[in-house]
Amino acid sequence: MAAHAVLGQSIARVDGREKVTGQTRYTGDLHLPGMLYAKLVLSQHARARIKGVDCAAARQVPGVVDVVTARDILAVAPNAKDSMLLALDTATFYGQPVAAVLGETEAAAEEGAAAVVVDYEPLPAAVEALAAMRPDAPEVKESDSEEDDALAQMHATVGGGPEQPKRELPRNVTTAPLFQRGDVEAGFRAADHVVERTYRTMRVHQSYMETQGAVAAVDPLGRLQVWCSTQSMFTVRNSTARALGIPDTEIKVTAMPIGGGFGAKFLHLEPLAAALALKSQRPVRLILTRTDDYLSTTPAPESIVELKTGVKNDGTITAIQAKIVMDSGAYGGTPLNVACLLLGGYYRCDNLAIEGYEVLTNKPQVGAYRAPGAPQGTFAIESNVSEMARLIGMDQIEFRLKNCSVEGDPLPNGDPWPSIGLQECLEALRAHPSYKEWQQKGEGEGVGVAVGGWLMGVEPSAATCRLNSDGTLSVLLGSVDLTGTNTAFTQIAAEAFGLPLEKIKVIAGDSDAAPYAGGAGGSKITYTVGPSVQQAAADARQQVLAIAADMLEASVDDLEIVGDEVRVKGVPDQKKKITEIAGASMRFGGRYKPVTGRGQTATTQRAPGFAAHLAKVRVDPDTGEAKLLGYVAVQDVGFAINPAEVKGQIHGGVAQGIGWAMLEGQVFDEAGQMLNPTLMDYALPNSTNVPPIDVVIVEKPSELGPFGAKGVGEPPVIPGAATVANAIADASGARVTDLPITAERIARALGK
Amino acid sequence: MAAHAVLGQSIARVDGREKVTGQTRYTGDLHLPGMLYAKLVLSQHARARIKGVDCAAARQVPGVVDVVTARDILAVAPNAKDSMLLALDTATFYGQPVAAVLGETEAAAEEGAAAVVVDYEPLPAAVEALAAMRPDAPEVKESDSEEDDALAQMHATVGGGPEQPKRELPRNVTTAPLFQRGDVEAGFRAADHVVERTYRTMRVHQSYMETQGAVAAVDPLGRLQVWCSTQSMFTVRNSTARALGIPDTEIKVTAMPIGGGFGAKFLHLEPLAAALALKSQRPVRLILTRTDDYLSTTPAPESIVELKTGVKNDGTITAIQAKIVMDSGAYGGTPLNVACLLLGGYYRCDNLAIEGYEVLTNKPQVGAYRAPGAPQGTFAIESNVSEMARLIGMDQIEFRLKNCSVEGDPLPNGDPWPSIGLQECLEALRAHPSYKEWQQKGEGEGVGVAVGGWLMGVEPSAATCRLNSDGTLSVLLGSVDLTGTNTAFTQIAAEAFGLPLEKIKVIAGDSDAAPYAGGAGGSKITYTVGPSVQQAAADARQQVLAIAADMLEASVDDLEIVGDEVRVKGVPDQKKKITEIAGASMRFGGRYKPVTGRGQTATTQRAPGFAAHLAKVRVDPDTGEAKLLGYVAVQDVGFAINPAEVKGQIHGGVAQGIGWAMLEGQVFDEAGQMLNPTLMDYALPNSTNVPPIDVVIVEKPSELGPFGAKGVGEPPVIPGAATVANAIADASGARVTDLPITAERIARALGK
């Protein structure tokens, strides 16, 4: 690959200054004239019939303007799905919104919400997934919303499983994909060793710094505007429009700067905020408290994975058999397929049988969380793989290299892997000095390895750009900058046009003005919007060169852009400033068309991304306490447009992986009430439990990503749980199969 | 021309509903949190040295936050031209802003402004143009701002005159173009009749319903935003940036709905509002009262035209000699060239000598007002032409038809006229029944004819459009809808794409997001932006057909768009809804690029527009009172995209022409103080003095305008003064050469 001018450089984030100086204005910083504050009344039962909502006392609270129930909403939001709005007749999870109180102040709304008296008739609840599958379990009301399916698919990043034989599904099971090839029984018969385990992961919440929130307002002619913390402006617009029964373009959505999303912010409160604004005809601000956010939003699903694998002494994996149960909460939409495909896709194996079950329970709906489905499936397979390597006495990396999938090998659904960097990541990890050094283990120390991959999302995108009179190039985009993508786009546009970085302005358009882009999820924005940016900037460059050629009476081929000028190569005084060219195309009587670049892409070829992690841990054999001592994260990113941003993303992913591994999980009591809905009780990774992370970037270029880049965001969270579990097993002999791996669980595994 | 689906139809304006229901929100309706109100302190002298500004008392007024003088502004607006901001050491006209008072309320600002004490040293002022040209006249400070020149050129719509011989210019004269061909002396010798007159026109003010105003705010990181009542978002952005010494794109301008501009709202208060916001670090609202607006803004210049024309008895015009003096006020920038070119351009004549003088005086700067320069020059030539026809006893229209310029005839600057419809307008007027009927004149009645033409503006433009998931097409534009252009663009886009009108959404982008378009002036928006809209919509249509062809496995050529579907011609069940096509290009994993149309044009070929007017008047010979009895306005518009809008524009232009003719004019005393700066004292046309207007649309298609359309806005104001003057002369024998033609002047001309 040719040397780049500004790509591959670790420039500071374009939004860095305003963020680090605390000046970024988020949704919660909006104050519209006449704005009302909304506070939700949440269900106090996991399942209950709502016999009545007594609003009288709440309405008496000074400053309370209105108390709104589902029935009030239906008038303005006829197609509202209960998953997004208010419970109508039945509450289906503890924390489900039942009513909204509108107040002139936040305090009034809060006091009003406390005064709403809901008359519940508690009903038996299905709280635990396996219990919910029993024939006598209470039936959880099912959502059959197409919209939910579409959202689920977007997060899952792969479509439905293969054609399934018609069969009776267990109670509360919404979908049960089955992936098969070869003969697993024969495979196990051929094995020298069989490892059979059941793995459990908990509900892990995205725990973004900024809770979910939206502000909605109706203009005097009835047009809606929504400002929100979202990853996907167009999803919010279209889904809110559908809930309200109006055309999509009757709503204007402005995606505000976002304080973290991790998959959870595609659509949540916006239809309700819009409905409340429509009903009250005043601006409405609906921002969740941390506790309400934990109680009512959409974490990653808990999973139960029964996994059985066989291996020969020569290292051949002979069979993989798995059953994955995912607890979907009150509505469908788990990333079950992803879990199945990845669990069975990392390694070549002729005999495979993977079945999945999505089960409804009376808990909050689950949603997307960074690499949805991948940590759950990967924790299982990579734990088993480590055990198999140990059983046959083969080096962890050698064993994986012997079996790892390469381009052309089949996924469980039969699709061949495109070009992937799994092997290259393993080789890079093997070559890393720590891999050898850490084999010298001290007392209670152990080392773990695991890999993880992500299929990556794809979605059509467009970009336009405009040369400005001051010589800058504005790039207008509809994507949300969740992870620093606007910084990467600044670099891409600068490179493609040939301008200095400071001359590029990435403009986040609102949903009226912006070219289309999909949501910032699936690690797809740089991969799919980047080429549109590149095209648009290259297109603008050509237009600039054509104008310069006419002005300079030269051939386009003889021109070059140097700094802020277009020059005739080899004739230093034959030149035009870019500002002159811009001026000539944007003035009265000008002869040249305004430079307006366009890029459009519809990449359907995925560029999966892989990571290989290495962790060193010390386990106290008496207390079971485990401490991470070091971490190496290798990842194939295709091409690192901005290495510092790539490393930052990987750091964050590793930290969240450690959260999965050792810390996080929502806890419910038997009645379905969440017990830890606060940041005091819900344990997040922090600087005391995340060790120094050494990031190694592998660059196996993608064919279609910008300059070879692939998505970065999701792979680094995937191998964490298995890496840590394998290190702990290596250190202590304790093979812990339930996440998070707490000292208590290690101690119990050690028989303490 | 093929039949059109939605073009040529008088659809209601897309902004009609919100305007007639009073729900449009203008700049004055903006209320930003923490916003300050600015009130200007205006100079009480036409010329004075400012020895000091005592702000102490003003600062004591409760609610006054700051008092800002020019010196305070220089810190934040280093390149501020005094023409746009505050007087520094010398006030150069009565009404010039000297200081700005910022208050928490409008009342506080107003009280504060009244309390500011300016210490003036009055200086001799040059108030009248001819006097200002005398060697002993006081020198008016000259502005040599390039920006002023650029603005002047934009309004003038034609560039500078021919190379002038180096000569000594009279005092206070900034520019003196000279256009010559043939030998005027020989021409006059060959004439059978010579008509020699001096015509005078007054300062006529645009008197838009909404006064000038802007709101500016600085975000926490220092980026400026300006909301304003402007015809040209990008002019405001670039000129404000230059005043502040920052790059253009460091300012975001939102053009608010505009309550009339007529040329005056290209740039006025925005740099000052921005500077005040920067200095105070709070949002600032600066909106002029009506009186402040009259006192300090930029009307059409007064003119003195000495015109001598010769004619043979056979109707040949043998010579045209003219001297045009335009009073520019305190800064340069009159449309002198336009007046010269039109005065000498309507008729073929071998011998021509036209000289122009732009003179500075101590009065407010002049600016653009609907067809700048044209009413002044046309009043003179069309009065003389009427007299010549009368002298040789030839029919008014026949005489004009005998001499009128056609394509290829030279303008005074030697440029040939492109295709024009002057002859066709005269023929259509001759064919109009009123032309014959009104020859039957009652007591004191008379009929007048005059023509007028406009060269029309040109400027590059771009447009983008986007197909939406609800099947609508959004067209994103940077032009300001001053006259209903967004309605025309809705029709153009619907026609070019093949969608029903209600599926088109024209989006007014802000200066960050919008494609480039020039200001809404020079009657150029439909002519120059229209083709970009047409291109963009046609481009989007092709993209939609290509997707449909792939989906339907058909050839693009076999497809048609009918209603909201794309169909295979002749195979009624082979079809796709446009919403399906949109969806397939904007969803996760979609195979098609998001439909994103683009149009760019840089038309430099003008399509001049002509009008021929006919008026019937009755004059009371005793009082001189004249009453218009009827009016016919014929105009070549190339193609009437929306006939009702065209007629509405022509109605308004005729009314304003009648204002020039009979009513309007700013009056100054000898010291340069304006005497009629209120709507009580400044006479505007209204329903009692504007007769019924019969509009006849002539359609001689332009080559490059959308579907043959030409500009409409400016021609209808041009012939009015001469038409009325000619009718009055016909009715009474009084040839009044000074505008406005009041009863007093008629009576005086009749010797009363």
**Burial letters A662-676, b for 16+ CB under 10 A, else e:** bbbbbebeeebbbeb
In sign, the C-alpha dihedral spanning B517, A485, A479, A608 is positive
Backbone angles phi, psi at B744, to 5 degrees: -60, -45
Which residue of A lies nearest to B508 if distances are taken between CA atoms?
A513
Which residue of B lies nearest to A602 if distances are taken between CA atoms?
B593
Query: How far apart are the CA of B455 and the nearest CA of chain A, in angstroms?
Result: 12
Helix/strand/coil for A717: helix
Q: How far is CA A594 from CA B246, B489, B514, in A?
A: 22, 19, 12
Residue B738's CB: how many other CB atoms inside 10 A?
Answer: 18
Distance separating alpha carbons of residues A156 and B394, to the nearest angstrom = 86
Q: In B348-425, which ranges are E strands?
A: 352-360
**Residue B702 has which token pair?**
């332009």
Low-confidence ranges of chain A (pLDDT < 70): 1-2, 81-84, 142-167
DSSP A344-355: TTSB--S-EEEE
Residue in A509, A589, A602 closest to B592 by CB: A602
Helix (H) or strand (E) holding B287: strand B284-287
**What phi-psi label fits residue A465: left (phi over 0), alpha (psi between -120 and 50 degrees) or beta?**
beta
Which residue of A lies nearest to B587 if distances are taken between CA atoms?
A459
Report which of B492, B472, B491 is spatially closest to residue B577, judged by C-alpha positions. B472
- Asked if B241's CB is within 8 angstroms of A460's CB, the reply is no
Which residue of B lies nearest to A547 if distances are taken between CA atoms?
B602
Backbone angles phi, psi at B318, to 5 degrees: -95, -25
Q: Which of A596, A598, A601 is the best substitution to test chain B (most B C-beta atoms within 10 A)?
A: A596
Distance separating alpha carbons of residues A219 and B257, to the nearest angstrom = 15
pLDDT of A752 reads 83
- Contacting residues of B for A585, CB less than 8 Å apart: 460, 516, 602
Which residue of A lies nearest to B475 if distances are taken between CA atoms?
A513
Query: How far apart are the CA of B636 and the nearest CA of chain A, in angstroms?
Result: 22
Instruction: Say what the ipTM of the complex is.
Output: 0.93
- Contacting residues of A for B593, CB less than 8 Å apart: 460, 462, 600-602
pLDDT of B622 reads 93
Distance separating alpha carbons of residues A356 and A176, to the nearest angstrom = 5
- Asked if B238's CB is within 8 angstroms of A589's CB, the reply is no
**Cβ distance A463 to A515 under 8 Å?**
yes
- Asked if A464's CB is within 8 angstroms of B598's CB, the reply is yes
Helix (H) or strand (E) holding B111: helix B106-115
**Residue B450 has which token pair?**
């005059």
pLDDT of B664 reads 98
| Type of residue found at B701 | P
Residue in A157, A593, A600 closest to B596 by CB: A600
Pairing verdict, β B626-636 and B693-698? parallel
Query: How far apart are the CA of A250 and the nearest CA of chain B, in angstroms?
Result: 10
HEC string of A184-199?
HHHHHHHCCEEEEEEE
- Asked if B593's CB is within 8 angstroms of A462's CB, the reply is yes
**Residue A282 has which token pair?**
């005043």
Which residue of A lies nearest to B32 if distances are taken between CA atoms?
A33
- Asked if A586's CB is within 8 angstroms of B460's CB, the reply is yes
- Asked if A588's CB is within 8 angstroms of B157's CB, the reply is yes
Q: Which of B476, B527, B588, B604 is the best substitution to test chain A (most A C-beta atoms within 10 A)?
A: B588
Q: Which of A35, A240, A249 is the best substitution to test chain B (most B C-beta atoms within 10 A)?
A: A249
Model pTM above 0.90: yes
**Cβ distance A526 to A637 under 8 Å?**
no
Residue in B23, B509, B591 closest to A220 by CB: B23
Report which of A542, A534, A586, A536 is spatially closest to residue A561, judged by C-alpha positions. A542
**Cβ distance A266 to A151 under 8 Å?**
yes
- Asked if B459's CB is within 8 angstroms of A221's CB, the reply is no
Instruction: Count interface pairs A-B at CB distance under 8 A.
Output: 187
Distance separating alpha carbons of residues B87 and B67, to the nearest angstrom = 14
Helix (H) or strand (E) holding A610: strand A609-619
pLDDT of B164 reads 55
Distance separating alpha carbons of residues A330 and A123, to the nearest angstrom = 14
- Asked if A604's CB is within 8 angstroms of B593's CB, the reply is no
Query: How far apart are the CA of B140 and the nearest CA of chain A, in angstroms?
Result: 29
Query: How far apart are the CA of B495 and the nearest CA of chain A, in angstroms?
Result: 20
Above pLDDT 70, what percent of chain A? 96
**Cβ distance A348 to A131 under 8 Å?**
no
The residues, ordered by sequence, that sit 6+ positions from A302 with a Cβ below 8 Å of its Cβ are A129, A200, A201, A202, A203, A326, A327
Report which of B410, B348, B350 is spatially closest to residue B381, judged by C-alpha positions. B348
- Asked if B458's CB is within 8 angstroms of A596's CB, the reply is no
Query: How far apart are the CA of A408 and the nearest CA of chain B, in angstroms?
Result: 21
Q: Which residues make beta-bridge pairs with A445? A: A618
The residues, ordered by sequence, that sit 6+ positions from B386 with a Cβ below 8 Å of its Cβ are B396, B448, B449, B450, B722, B725, B726, B729, B730
Query: How far apart are the CA of B159 and the nearest CA of chain A, in angstroms?
Result: 9
DSSP 8-state assignment for residue A708 = G
Residue in A248, A459, A469 closest to B469 by CB: A248
Distance separating alpha carbons of residues A134 and A140, to the nearest angstrom = 12
Diameter over CA atoms, chain B: 87
In sign, the C-alpha dihedral spanning B290, B293, B296, B302 is negative
- Asked if A596's CB is within 8 angstroms of B600's CB, the reply is yes
Query: How far apart are the CA of A476 and the nearest CA of chain B, in angstroms?
Result: 6
Pairing verdict, β B303-311 and B317-329? antiparallel
Which residue of A lies nearest to B245 if distances are taken between CA atoms?
A470
Residue in B468, B476, B512 closest to A248 by CB: B468
DSSP A123-177: -----SHHHHTSTTSPPPPPP--HHHHHHHHHHH-S---S-----PPPTTEEE--
Report which of A287, A282, A249, A290 is spatially closest to residue A268, judged by C-alpha positions. A287
End-to-end CA distance of chain A: 57
Active site residues of A: 714
B17 CB-side CA count, 13 A: 5
Active site residues of B: 714
- Asked if B588's CB is within 8 angstroms of A469's CB, the reply is no
DSSP 8-state assignment for residue B130 = H
Backbone angles phi, psi at A531, to 5 degrees: -65, -30
Q: In B419-569, which ranges are E strands?
A: 445-454, 461-467, 473-477, 504-508, 559-562, 565-568
Which residue of B lies nearest to A19 if distances are taken between CA atoms?
B221
Instruction: Dump pLDDT digits (tens) for A186-221.
Output: 999 999 999 999 999 999 999 999 999 999 999 877
pLDDT of A15 reads 94
- Contacting residues of B for A600, CB less than 8 Å apart: 593-594, 596
Residue in A154, A464, A469 closest to B248 by CB: A469
Distance separating alpha carbons of residues A411 and A393, to the nearest angstrom = 27
- Contacting residues of A for B25, CB less than 8 Å apart: 220
Question: Which single residue is written with the structure tokens 């025309």?
Answer: B488
End-to-end CA distance of chain B: 57
Low-confidence ranges of chain B (pLDDT < 50): 1, 142-149, 157, 159-160
**Residue B405 has which token pair?**
């310029």
